[in-house]
Structure 1
Amino acid sequence: MSRARNGWILPVSIVIALLLGLLPLPPVLQPLRPYWLALVLAYWVIEAPESAGLGFAFIVGLVADLMFGGLLGEQALRLVIMTFILQRFRARLRFFPLSQQALAIGVLLFNDRVVAGAVHLTLGEPALPWSYWWAPLLGMLLWPPLFLLLDATRLGKRK
């Protein structure tokens, strides 16, 4: 398949992930919101590293910071750290079965929460409540269906 034919999938998936991050949730479910942007970016770093690298992660993170109204640069930092780790281990991670990939993504999402907690602690903001630590587990469970959906969309029908 030509790159021009599938060039729309990356930006559309990022926009959808940003919109899912803005979707209002009841206060009870808010801590369980998966980090959609990190999940989608992780897919593109693993499957199309020529299109999604550190610079792309930084720009997407800045856009997310502006959209979500958080500290400018926080999500950019978190996504760049995740992208760097994914690029480092991409050659191995790409050939893991989906269940093992999901575990690795869960660890990366947990690491993301640690980085977010460190940023909040450094700035003197209140620590994240314990309920926010469940979101990486939900992201880990969502990885296989999200991966298969994006893969099917990117590759089209297989004959």
Structure 2
Amino acid sequence: MIRPRNPWLLPLSVFVALLLGLLPLPAWLLPFRPYWLALVVAYWVIEDPERAGLGFAFAMGVLADLAFGGLLGEQALRLVVMAFILQRFRAQLRFFPLSQQALAIGGLLVNDRVVSAAVHFTLGEPQLPWTFWWAPLLGMLLWAPVFLLLDTFRLGRR
């Protein structure tokens, strides 16, 4: 068994993603806030499936639900759905170039919005305005920098 070079990186990256999600933004910027936690969970599910799987996604979702104060279990469901799809297609995704990975992550982030809308519709909660559908596009554009940054720290490259 190979020990990870930086065992602190996974919890630190999740902590930073939660902080970025809690960062106060002006009202006009809120629709463009990327789902940082989803990007970080996606990275770990793809790159370190022994440490990050469905249970990890569920735990991070519950933690995010508690931190952000939304519907308890909503983000957990969203992250578990995303992690399940990522696990299913992990073998193919790992060999995609970053641009194609970004498109796949963008599709998963759109799917995340669909799951969120379905949960809100089912429970009779108010829906997010249509402008919030821009966030998956920004998340898709941020996938390559997030991936490269975490990969650099994880592998210890300079």
SS of the equivalent of 1:6 reads: coil
Matched residue SS, 1:95? coil
Instruction: Determine if the alignment matches structure 1 residue 96 to structure 2 residue 103.
Output: no
1:48 aligned partner: 48
- What one-letter code is carried by the residue in structure 1 that aligns with 2:69? G
Counterparts of 2:4 and 2:33 in 1: how far apart (Å)?
33
Separation in 1, partners of 2:126, 2:18: 25
Note the aligned Cα RMSD (angstroms). Answer: 1.0
User: Counterparts of 2:24 and 2:81 in 1: how far apart (Å)?
Assistant: 27
Q: Which residue of 2 aligns with 1:125?
A: 125
The alpha-carbon deviation at position 127 of structure 1 amounts to 1.8
Please report how far the alpha carbon of residue 4 of structure 1 lies from its aligned counterpart in structure 2 after TM superposition: 5.4
The two structures have a TM-score, normalised by structure 1, of 0.96
Q: Partner amino acid for 1:15? A: F
Q: Deviation per CA, 1:26-85: give whole Å up to 9, x if none.
A: 000001100000000000000000010000110110010000001110000000000000
Question: Aligned residue for 2:152?
Answer: 152
Which runs of 4 or more aligned residues in structure 1 lie more than 3 Å from their structure 2 counterparts after TM superposition? none
- Structure 2 counterparts to residues 131-146 of structure 1, below 5 A: 131-146=131-146
Amino acid at match of 2:21: G
Identity level (%): 77
Q: Which residue of structure 2 lines up, in the alignment, with residue 111 of structure 1?
A: 111
Structure 2 portions without partners, runs of 5+: none
Q: Which residue pairs with 2:23 in the alignment? A: 23
Q: Name the count of aligned residue pairs.
A: 157
In the superposition, the TM-score normalised over structure 2's length comes to 0.97
For residue 5 of structure 1, report the CA deviation from its aligned partner: 3.9
Letter in 2 for 1:132: F
Q: CA deviation at 1:3?
A: 2.3
| Counterpart position of 2:83 | 83
Runs (5+) with no aligned partner, structure 1 = none
CA distance in 1, matches of 2:4, 2:85: 29
* 1:6 corresponding residue in structure 2: 6
Shift of 1:125: 1.5
Query: How far apart in 2 are the matches of 1:47 and 1:117?
Result: 29
Q: Contact between 2:57 and 2:79, CA under 8 Å: does it hold in 1?
A: yes
